[in-house]
Structures are given as C-alpha cells and as structure tokens.
Structure 1
Amino acid sequence: MSKRDIDIATDDGTAKAGLFTPDHGTGTNPGVVLYMDIFGPRPGLDRMGERLADNGFVVLVPDLFYRFGPYSFDPGTAFDDPDTAARMKGMMKDTPVDVVEKDTKAYLQALADNGANGKVGAVGYCMGGQHALTAAAAYPERVGAAASFHGGGLVTDAGTSPHKRAGEMKGAIYIGTAGEDKSCPPEHSATLAKSLREAGVNYMLENYVGMAHGWAVPDHGVYDEAGAERHWRRLVSFFDEVLK
C-alpha cells in the first residue's frame, strides 16, 4: 500500500485528500471514497484507508472541511473543550449535505484519474455515513455500493435525507448501526429500512449490539476492537461482492 497527498479542484476551491493505492495493482482495482467523521483527516483515518487499499481498492479520503483552512482535532479530547466542540459542530453545519454532494463529483473524477476501475464504493462514519448514502443517490451510475457505519442524519425532515432519496439509489446499500446511538435511534432504522425496501433497493441493515457511536474508528474514545473487526469483515466482503 502507498499513500499520496493530492489536491482536488472543486467548484469552491481546493480539497486536500489522501490517496491510498494497492502495492500490487491487478488492473481491476475499484475505487472507494471514504467520508470522514467530524474529527477530519488524521492518522486514524489513514489507517482505515490503508486497510482498504491492502484489500485491493484505490481509496480516497478527502477533507470535507477544506473550506475552513488548516485545523486539527483530537478525537479523544475534542468534545471535552466547549470551544473546540462548538467549532467542530459549526464546521459540520456549514458543510451541508448538498455541498458535499457537489464536491463528490470531483472526488469521483479524482479516483478515475488515479487508476480506479469500474463502479465506485462509498463508505462513511458518523456524519460521513449520510454523505456515503447521498453519493449513492446523487451518482447512481457511478456508485455501485455505499456503506454507512454509526451514521447520523440518515432520517431527517430535510429533502436531502437519505431515506427520502432511496428511489434514486441503484447500487447496493449496507448500514451498520450502533446498538446505542442517539444519532440513529431504532425508529430511524425502521424508517430507513422501510424506505429502502419500498424503493426496491438491494440493502442490508445490521445492528451492532453493545456498540456505541464511533466504535469502528480506531482512535475514537469508544473504539471496540471486536466490533471494529466485525465491521471490517462486513465492509470488505460487501465491496468485494458488489465491486469486484
């Protein structure tokens, strides 16, 4: 696996991203956009990009908060400081779904320009889960598989809510929810499953019992190794089956 830091031109500026490529390309390495959680790009997400690349994918980890300039958040302490927590939440609020959806067009092109073949996968964590599902709805001819883990904002009143866009999705969908997660309570899972099923989407929704919001991300305070490994088995087999 090798990593390169690249710049991606968007309609609003230049997004920085990490690009992870397999050491031994087969000529049929699918691309994956990995949508960050609220803490942004960092070594913890690099490790996740590396692991996907080691499994034969060309992985792009873009900085969704590039409009705000340089920043750095420590997942272990960021929410302990009120000012830091407010800044993160403000950046997330000021990077709405439709803005990331527009940026995703450039992310998909960057994957194509860097050797990704065929349909693309999307995976997101925390706020990134919503963006991964949005990518499946917004770019159905490009995104063949999308996965959300402990995603937030999957069922809202907004027109951009993924459950309202199920009819636009043509790819396969995987949703892994935390057993206890205020950002995706049981009623949201039920609404999302109903919308996907009625739209005829090929989907799986799985509840990770005992896991908390953020369990799959290695530097998160609630990281759970057993639960994270289960998530990796599901994610890699899902992308292998659909994209390869």
Structure 2
Amino acid sequence: MCDDDIHQGLTYDPTVSRRAFGLMAVASAGIASAARAAQKVVERDVEVKTPDGVADAALFYPEGQGTGPAVLIWPDVVSLRPVFREMGRRLAGEGYVVLVPNLYYRVKRAPVVESGFNFANAEDRAKLTPMRASVTPEGTDRDSVAYLAFLDAQVQTDKTRKAGVQGYCMGGPLSVRTAAAVPDRIGAVASFHGGGLHTEAPTSPHLLLPRTKAEYLILVADNDDKQDPQAKENFRAALAAAGRPHKVEVYEGANHGWTVRGSQVYDEAAAERAWTELLALYKRALV
C-alpha cells in the first residue's frame, strides 16, 4: 500500500473558506442530503488532555437527538483542516459523536500548513517531516486512550455501544493501533487509501490485529495496489489469521487520496461509494 510521501495532488485549498466550503458541499448532488443533515449538527473546537500535552481537535454531534456511538477520525498527513471538519459534520449528521484531532498537536496547532500548500511540491512536503516525526506508535497508543476517554465523557455519547475509528492515508495504520489500544471500545475500523498497514517493522499495525475485537473495512487505492499488489494480500491474511471479520477491496480507477475533497485526485463517485460502505459498517458493527 502506498506510502503517504507520494500522496498526489493538492490536499488543502486555502481559497475555499469555511462558508464557501459548505456552499460547495450543498451544490454537490452527492452530498446535498448530508449538508441538510449538517444543519442540525453542533461543532465545537475542543482541547483534549493527553499524557503528552493538550491536543487541539474538533468535536461534532447531532443537536437534540439523544445519544449516539462515538467515532474517532484520524486525518491524513496534512492533518485537521476544513475537509476533515466537513467529514466530521457529515458523520455527526448520521447520528454519531465524532472527534477529529490534530495529528501534530505536540508541534503545532491546526491548521499546520500555510496558504498555497501543495503536496505535489517537494519543498512543501518537506515542511511536514518534523511534524510527522512527532507521531510515534507509542504516542498514538496514548492518544487513542485519551481520545476515546474524551468521547466517552461527552453526554451525547452512547457508551453502551461500540465506538468506531476511521483513518485516511497515514491515518489508516493509526486506526489499527487505536483498535488495539482500546480493544473493548472499538467495534469497527475503516482505512481509506491507508499506507503501511503491513510492514517488516516490529511496530507494524498487522501485528496488533490479534489484540483487537473490531470488524475491518480496508479500501485500497488502485495506484497504491499497482505499486505493491502483495500488500493488501498480506494484510488480508493477517486479518484472517487474527479471526477478524473484514473486507479488503481495491477501488479500481481511484487513486491515492480519492476520498479527500480538495485533492486533485478526488473522485466523488468513488468517495460516495466508500462513504456508503462506511455507514453500513458502523450500522452493523457499532452495537
């Protein structure tokens, strides 16, 4: 699976304001219903205490609709920004209590890139290197415990139901780590064009699968699969060996980053299909 260093295209369009972003979403037929649902969503900027400091994050939940399952969203390498806020709002509009943290809170508050940032530019990518170094396996495990505890402390969270975790790009392996860090809470894991799920390193996420109790949805980008077709097979075999229910699928024609609006490789039809699969997973597994 693709390393996020070769993520294609623009991942953050600074010309799109928060208001314009919402209008653009409404204009899109594929998410018009989600935009209507988001009108009943509460969005709060929050700070989450962790063993390593205070993480800035965004919290979303449906307004006046009782309680719902918790979901943690790990963003891609460019971290918390408007497109991931939109995902949080949309998911909350479906009845979930959603937290989207800043991956790099140990180094910098979100947004972590300046206007005009382009992942296709090597100099821009290099700006993320010191921030990425702050995201370690051990730190992710500590963060996961803190984030789930924060979600469970919200009065809107239904703690009798399992929680979900989903990740994009480098957020894919972070999601697996979350499932292992809080196995009794996480009932579903979704990875979208995730990289590094199965490696030779002793910290490889696949080694954690036996500790987890979740169902897995692993959606692979077509170009990632063409670079390393064995990667998905290795992870599928690890899931089977761990006895975890799963679906591993290559999205033919969809390139790395296809689910992230604002990316030059964003594929709305494929992104909507992935969203439908995500909601079906949560409906089935978060009980």
Give me the CA root mean square deviation: 1.8
Aligned counterpart, 1:157 = 200
- AA in 1 matched with 2:72: V
Consecutive unaligned residues of structure 2, counting only runs of 5 or more, are: 1-40
Aligned counterpart, 1:145 = 188
- AA in 1 matched with 2:256: H
Q: Is 1:134 matched up with 2:177?
A: yes
Segment of structure 1 superposing worse, 53-62 or 97-106: 97-106
Aligned counterpart, 1:186 = 229
- Residues 175 and 80 of structure 1: is their aligned pair in 2 closer, same or farther, counting only changes over 3 Å? closer
Local SS of the residue matching 1:68: coil
Consecutive unaligned residues of structure 1, counting only runs of 5 or more, are: none
**Which residue, out of 45, 51, 54, partners 2:90?**
51
Aligned counterpart, 1:30 = 69
- AA in 2 matched with 1:123: Q
Percent identity of equivalent pairs = 38
Superposed displacement of residue 64, structure 1: 1.4
Report the Cα distance in structure 1 between the residues aligned to 2:197 and 2:188, rounded to whole angstroms. 16
**Which residue, out of 130, 145, 155, partners 1:90?**
130
Report the Cα distance in structure 1 between the residues aligned to 2:120 and 2:249, rounded to whole angstroms. 30
- Residues 133 and 76 of structure 1: is their aligned pair in 2 closer, same or farther, counting only changes over 3 Å? farther
Q: Is 1:116 matched up with 2:157?
A: yes
User: How high is the TM-score relative to the length of structure 2?
Assistant: 0.80
Q: Does the aligned pair in 2 maintain the 1:17–1:60 contact within 8 Å?
A: yes
User: How high is the TM-score relative to the length of structure 1?
Assistant: 0.94
- Residues 192 and 227 of structure 1: is their aligned pair in 2 closer, same or farther, counting only changes over 3 Å? same
Q: Which has the larger Rg?
A: 2
Report the Cα distance in structure 1 between the residues aligned to 2:126 and 2:257, rounded to whole angstroms. 19
- Residues 189 and 40 of structure 1: is their aligned pair in 2 closer, same or farther, counting only changes over 3 Å? same
Local SS of the residue matching 1:140: coil
Local SS of the residue matching 1:216: coil
Partner deviation per Cα, 1:21-69 (whole Å, 9 max, x = no partner):
0124233x00000001011111110110011001110000011100112
Aligned counterpart, 2:146 = 106
Asked which structure has the greater RCO (Cα within 8 Å, sep 6+), the reply is: 2
Report the Cα distance in structure 2 between the residues aligned to 1:143 and 1:183, rounded to whole angstroms. 31
